[in-house]
Structure 1
Amino acid sequence: MSNRTAPRLYVPAPLAAGLTLTLPPGPSRHAQVLRLQPGDAVTLFNGDGGEWAARIVRMGRSDVDAQVLQHDPADRELPVAVTLAVGMPANDRMDWLVEKATELGVATIQPLVCERSVLRLAGERAGKKVAHWSGVAISASEQCGRTRVPVIAPVQPLRAWCEALPAAADDELRAVLSLQDAQPLAALPVGARAVFLSGPEGGLAPAEEALARTAGFRAASLGPRVLRAETAPLAALALLGLR
């Protein structure tokens, strides 16, 4: 069994008992910052499920070697695969949303550019942001004990994303977080998958809500208060996790 008190490091590489490997630059830096020494225990995971007990066998100036020991088939994922499709909040609020959604068990985050979006990303700038958010998700997964890392999908305009969605599967809940003619989210049936669509600062425009409903989304309410763009999707995810 892996040691839950040992530092956890994400290693995007095949792992097997008895393997000795040089950790990639990111995990190596992490091990050095923690001042680990040969013989110290670590836990490795690669996102394929489960995690591996391991120990440091060499600390170099810029790289670190670890020996993989025993596999633990730990599964700390939600029973529902949840996608958060979010109108990106501005500044560092999207970083915070990615971090907390990872801790709460999200499977995929789909950043969207909406009519009322303050943060508008495209091209190379969007790609760099997605790479940054993927790093945030990795760090949060290391911290919270997850053995899988959420997917951060490429930034898309909301309309293009909605129009490209296939028909909803029988076991999939699609809900757009709304204050207009909405049912309580807690009352909606949930199957194996769920997609929550949430707007940016200022919410979704009426035409965007109408488009979402055409794509199979049901209007869902989180209560009478208006939540911030970074709070609403997390509240929906937490509610689902508690169910």
Structure 2
Amino acid sequence: MPRFFVDTPLAATDGDIALPSGAARHVQVLRLQPGDALTLFDGSGPEWQAEVTAMGRSEVRVRLLTAEQPQRELLRAVTLAVVMPANDRMDFLVEKATELGAAAIQPLMSERSVLRLNGERADKKRAHWQGVAVASAEQCGRTVPTRIEPVQTLAAWLATLAPAADEWRGLLSPRAAVALAPFPQQRALFLSGPE
């Protein structure tokens, strides 16, 4: 059954909604018709079984039928802080991290980073990566897409990183002596990059 992310809180609707333009276009491309079933999620946790009620040239209306609360998220919130790789490798990283269940990705720039982003260009890339995370969540069945944090320098990010007793922190290294064993904390933060 096709799944679509809707950036409107579905629990607050009256049960009959118009899909956003991107999802509506996707429904049209799939040639769904009134009466066809689909699944919607808004990133808050639940997903809704829905039915197409009307197809227009630019609008698709659906009726929400039932809400379900599937447990597809990791029990602990995992954040991946990563020095951004060059070219389209960051897209691949976002896609796979979303599929693996990462709650958030913190894109970083370091002294040796090839990819340098700031200002409007950084905002556009972040929006693009958030779209990649949403598309990946639609594909893999997650109900909460990975959140992409604003791009920062490694030094600035480390300066703002406060101690957290409920967070396990690890630096990913090929020469690590300690295995990733079960940890008691509710959150985990991993740092990876060329430095």
Q: 2:3 aligns with which of 3, 8, 13?
A: 8
Gaps of 5+ in 1: 1-5, 205-243
Aligned to 1:211: none
Q: Which residue of 2 aligns with 1:222?
A: none
**Cα distance in 2, alignment partners of residues 73 and 176 from structure 1:** 33
| 3-state SS of paired residue (1:163) | helix
Identity %: 59
2:19 is aligned with 1:19: no
Counterparts in 2 of 1:1-243, with a 5 A limit?
A: 6-16=1-11, 19-169=15-165, 171-179=166-174, 182-187=176-181, 189-199=183-193, 203-204=194-195
- Cα distance, 1:110 vs. partner? 0.3
Cα separation, 2, equivalents of 1:145 and 1:8: 8
- Separation in structure 1 between the aligned mates of residue 155 and residue 115 of structure 2, nearest angstrom: 16
For residues 155-188 of structure 1, the C-alpha deviation after alignment (integer angstroms, 9 at most, x for no partner) is 000000001011122x3111111246x3333247
Contact 1:168 1:174 in 2 (8 A): no
TM-score calculated relative to the size of structure 2 = 0.95
Q: Aligned equivalents of 1:179 and 1:45: distance in 2? A: 37
Q: Which amino acid aligns with 1:15?
A: L
Amino acid at match of 2:103: A
| Structure 2: runs of 5 or more not aligned | none
Kindly provide the CA deviation profile for residues 99-158 of structure 1, in whole angstroms up to 9, marking residues without a partner as x: 011010000000000111111111100000000000000000011111111110000000
Q: Which amino acid aligns with 1:117?
A: S
**For 1:70-101, what per-residue CA distance to the aligned partner results, in whole angstroms no more than 9, with x for missing partners?**
01111200011000000000111000000011
**Cα distance in structure 1, aligned partners of 2:114 and 2:184:** 32
CA RMSD, Structure 1 to Structure 2 (Å): 1.4
Aligned to 1:229: none
Number of positions where the alignment pairs a residue of Structure 1 with one of Structure 2:
194
Is the partner of 2:185 in helix, strand or coil? coil
AA in 2 matched with 1:68: L
* Paired AA for residue 189 in structure 1: F
Q: Work out the CA distance in 2 between the residues paired with 1:69 and 1:23.
A: 15
How far residue 14 of structure 1 moved from its aligned partner, in angstroms, is 2.2
Paired with 1:21 and 1:156, the residues of 2 have a C-alpha distance of 37
